[in-house]
Amino acid sequence: MLESAQALIRKTAEKMRLDAETIKRLIEPEMIHEFAFPVIMDNGKKKVFKGWRIQHNSALGPYKGGIRFHPETVREEVQALATLMSIKCAVAGLPYGGAKGGIAVDPKKLSRTELERLSKAYVEKIAHFIGENIDIPAPDVNTNPQIMAVMLDKYQKIKGYKSPATFTGKPVSMGGSLGRTEATGRGGLFVLKALLSKLKSKILNHKSQINPKSQIKNSKQFGTSNLEFSALSVAIQGFGNVGYYFAKLSQEDGFKIVAVSDSKGGVVKKLKVDELQPLDIPLTMKCKREKGSLAGCYCVGGVCDLGGGQTITNEELLELPVDILVPAALENVINEKNMKNIKAKIIVEMANGPITEEAYEYLSKKGIIIVPDVLANSGGVIVSYLEWVQGKARYWWSEKEVNSKLEEMIARAFETIWNKSVAKKISLKQAAFEVAIERITSAMV
């Protein structure tokens, strides 16, 4: 993962004819904090954990990035993610650099009190090099608002003063922002709609599942006419926070969500061999919560049952004949093994790195439009920025205001990348990386 991230930056920077020393500064992290620390377990014994906080680049502003708890977390992964956070923040136009933190731990094997002690011990290690104007952590894999609350409380006790802007992704009661829970999924939807507003003429003439009779409606959201989305079919791999809210909000906007999946598989409904029918997303989530997974679960007509649809694997979902495919779970799920079977015309990368480089090149040459992860899933960090601003000002906005600011900022980021893509006849991904590198290098001294 680290080699891939660095290679992508190097390749883009070389095309931009940047010198070797500038490229080195873009790739190498400014600070690597690696440490081991003991935690007292419930049985009274001490257990040593390995942790990291890697601060990649601060040219544009304070470091920003999440903290993950995962048994397979290693330094290389944390460094790769910190590197990509620098790119993502620059793509979004935020005054942030990139960072990432992590602990090699399986949080499912810890009690609530052990998890709290682990979180506090980690903060004791990083407290002297984070802060609202230095480095602002947030939730990531297996961390959440409650863990951020514990970490912020410990940090404030160490420092001896209140500093709600030092951590984002907190509970609203501790200075968190309204709209943060749905932000990543909502941001991805805003980007998709911005893309469709640019592609409307091509889509209306496309000989595929996309309905050529779709109606054009006036929309002030993107400054241009907008599509009636009900003819567009969408399959989403991943039904966690990001995938669920992308599905729920997209369906509310009229998109036809025909398949969703979680780690154990997914559901789809077919009335005919080649015709996919829409799912009811809120009822599907209700069924998942009742049954523990999506596999074998389908909801229709207000009743959750097993008879309305059929199960599919995650691999099968990726190859469905849909207009829009949204990988929102794992990295590298679209690769050389399945790339020739992908039928979607648009792919929105809501997961980090869901498409391998080889598959990306193949799909791009086929004319498939891919919205890169550094743009598509930047809604989370944008609202984290808005939370940070609110925390520093000690003034909090309504959810409507937050969502409006998110839409404005992510639409502006898309517009910049789209314009560069069109002007230079390059992919959205390359355009995104060029925009980010231009912004970072222009701020370097």
Query: In the CATH scheme, what is the code of domain 30-165?
Result: 3.40.50.10860
User: 215-264, pLDDT tens digit by residue?
Assistant: 223 333 333 333 467 789 999 999 999 999 999 999 999 999 999 999 88
Active-site residue, from 100, 154, 256, 345: 100
pTM to 2 decimal places: 0.89
Is 405 designated active site?
no
Rounded Cα–Cα distance for residues 269 and 312 (Å): 10
Token output for 339:
């790339």
Domain ranges across the chain: 30-165, 183-376
Residues 6 or more apart in contact with residue 285 via CB below 8 angstroms:
239, 244, 248
User: 319-356, pLDDT tens digit by residue?
Assistant: 999 999 999 998 899 999 999 999 999 999 999 889 99
Q: Are strands 369-371 and 303-305 parallel, antiparallel or unpaired?
A: unpaired
| Mean pLDDT, residues 406-422 | 97
For 183-376, the fitting CATH number among 3.40.50.720, 3.30.70.20, 3.40.50.10860, 3.40.309.10 is 3.40.50.720
Least confident of 96-110, 155-169, 300-314, 387-401: 300-314
Q: Label residue 277 by pLDDT band (50, 70, 90).
A: confident
Asked if 55 and 73 touch (Cβ cutoff 8 Å), the reply is: no
Task: Report the candidate in 326, 368, 331, 333 with the shortest Cα–Cα distance to residue 350.
Answer: 326
User: How many CB atoms neighbour CB 32 within 10 A?
Assistant: 15
